[in-house]
Amino acid sequence: MRNIILLFVNKILAVVFLCSAFVKGSEFNSTTVTVSAYLDIFNLNFGSEEVLLTTVFFVCLELLIGVFLLFNFFNQYTKWVCLIICVFFLILTYDVASNNLLTDCGCFGSMWMIDPWTSFYKNIILVLLSILSIVFRTIKSERKHNGFIVFLLFLWIGLFCVRALLYPAMIDASFYRIGDDVSVVRYGAPIFEIDNLNNQNTPLNVIESSDIDYIDGEEIFIFFNRRMDIADIDFGIYRNAISNLNKDHSILFVTTYVSDEVAFIKSHKNLYVIDASLFNAIFPSEFGLLRLNNGVITGKMDLNMFSMKLVDLLCVDLTDILSIYTIDNQIVFWIISFLFLYFCFVLEEYKDGPLKVCNYMMNRFVKIQKQFIRKAM
Amino acid sequence: MRKLIVFILVGFVLSCQKKDNVDTQIEQKTVNEIDFTLTPKHFDIGVISKSNHDSIHDFSFDILNNTTDSVYLGKVDVSCGCVNVIYKSNVIPPGEHGIVSGNINISNQYGHLSKAIFVNYDVDGLIVLRIKGDVKD
């Protein structure tokens, strides 16, 4: 009975942590925004890179706890870390819920929005399960871990994080998606309205219709920058990106805020400003790339500091990026990930089997090598 | 254990689909403002410094009914929780004015502001009012 309860509790915790990490990893940029919102609540002024690292840390931690609970690795430590994390989030969600600071806890990203009070009750259950898993812990439940499997799992977690950093959300949950016409009013959502900072006529064919600027004609790219002053980021990233762009495309720089100190940027005739809520309605990230054709979104990608720097470093043509980041590539990654976890599980469950296979293959290899040397002699 | 992995996979896929379904329910409406004269066209609250203690700013829109029929102004919705509309459902006779007023709380706003107020009228009509401004430190 004791063992059954332990198995049941462990696996529930593992599933919760893995699901949470998978969802957060699949829309990593959106998670970064949530983490940033939590940091803002406590007046922690982290830069974009620090927020990014904090997000990576939490996603990795959830993956590690989930995987280790699933495979029964390092039970003694994993369960205590799990309890500490659950208690930490219990206090955090109580503070957020009681003071009505956020509308969504961000536990499972934007794919499954949970209000802070529900999240608080969920965390109470998780804390209770964590206590149960420690109370019912037996010496037998501690499994001798296979170093090779642990290495493989760490490797997979590393790849998972790189994928999360590079790829935009698997499912676009925003108000403005590829194929949408930005001029259509979405009831209750921010209107797609961009204002030229300098009130100058742009080389673009901007139609003024009922005071809303809609973009007409040729394809254009728009860079968005959210939450931070455009001066805080390396403007070289933008310059290099532009130099790699097809010259046939016109570019608009769009940001939510420009400070008075950045005169050289303010004088840019293609600089536009938008409302931060609109930015959120388009991109769940710090930066974004949008391609419009007659007001219809034909390409879209959200970026973070890491992917933006990589674009800068590799001097990738942004037209290529929009075609590379397809949903098919992401689905392939998830399938490979699950197959990999399954492979690790099989290796772990049938430890002797694969080792025998390896030994056999090694012996065969040595024999072939000897035969080859004899023939050569 | 195999069932568990399948469960994670299915759970993940279902959670993805759930949000997708919710989003497809976004109502897309056609705005008809030709029948009305809005004064102002958009309310500009100007450049506001956060250092000012007054974080609540009032606004007011005058809607002139240019049609030959009375127009019933119905439900009002906003694109941001920061906008509070003080408004009573009323009927605007032809050539008469209706007022939509309220206030905007900028305490949690930063940068450029462009907030929409959606005023439903008659059966499926929609007027969009906009408040603009800039919030600085």
User: What are A116-164's pLDDT values in tens digits?
Assistant: 888 888 889 988 988 888 887 665 555 566 677 777 778 878 877 777 7
Check: CB of residue B17 under 8 Å from CB of residue A353.
no
More confident residue, B96 or A213: B96
Query: Where is average pLDDT lowest: A1-10, A184-193, A220-229?
Result: A220-229
Mark yes or no for CB contact B7/A186 under 8 Å.
no
pLDDT band at A246; cut points 50, 70, 90: low
Mark yes or no for CB contact A185/B30 under 8 Å.
yes
Residue A200 has what pLDDT? 46
Predicted model pTM: 0.65
Segment A90-107 shows an average pLDDT of: 79
What are the structural domains, with CATH classification, of chain A? 2-171+331-350 (no CATH), 195-325 (3.40.30)
Residue A110 has what pLDDT? 66
- In terms of Cα–Cα distance, which of A35, A59, A31 is closest to A47? A35
Alpha carbons within 13 A on the beta-carbon side of B90: 12
Q: Distance, in angstroms, between B80 CA and closest chain A CA?
A: 8
User: What backbone phi and psi angles, to 5 degrees, belong to A189?
Assistant: -105, 160
Q: Distance, in angstroms, between B13 CA and closest chain A CA?
A: 10
| Chain A residue numbers touching B9 (CB-CB < 8 A) | 338
Taking the Cβ of residue B128 and every Cβ of chain A, the question of whether any pair is shorter than 8 Å is answered with: yes
CA distance A86 to A92: 10
- Fold of the domain spanning B3-136: Immunoglobulin-like (2.60.40)
For residue A4, what are its two tokens?
Answer: 């059954």
Interface test with A, best of B13, B33, B114 (most A CBs within 10 A): B114
CA distance B109 to B124: 32
Query: Where is average pLDDT lowest: A18-32, A140-154, B7-21?
Result: B7-21
Residue A297 has what pLDDT? 82
Interface of A with B in 308-327 (CB under 8 A): none
Segment B15-39 shows an average pLDDT of: 55
Taking the Cβ of residue B116 and every Cβ of chain A, the question of whether any pair is shorter than 8 Å is answered with: yes
Segment B1-21 shows an average pLDDT of: 46
| Chain A residue numbers touching B20 (CB-CB < 8 A) | 171, 173
More confident residue, A276 or B30: A276
| Residue in A175, A193, A338 nearest the CB of B5 | A338
pLDDT band at A206; cut points 50, 70, 90: very low
For residue A40, what are its two tokens?
Answer: 């803002």
Mark yes or no for CB contact A188/B33 under 8 Å.
no
Taking the Cβ of residue B46 and every Cβ of chain A, the question of whether any pair is shorter than 8 Å is answered with: no
Q: What is the pLDDT of residues A310-353, one digit of tens each?
A: 666 666 655 555 555 555 556 676 677 777 777 776 666 665 55
CA distance B103 to A294: 35
| Interface ipTM > 0.85 | no
Residue B134 has what pLDDT? 83
Residues 6+ apart with CB under 8 A from A301: A168, A288, A289, A321, A322, A325
CA distance A298 to B125: 29
Interface of A with B in 47-76 (CB under 8 A): 70
Q: Distance, in angstroms, between A10 CA and closest chain B CA?
A: 12
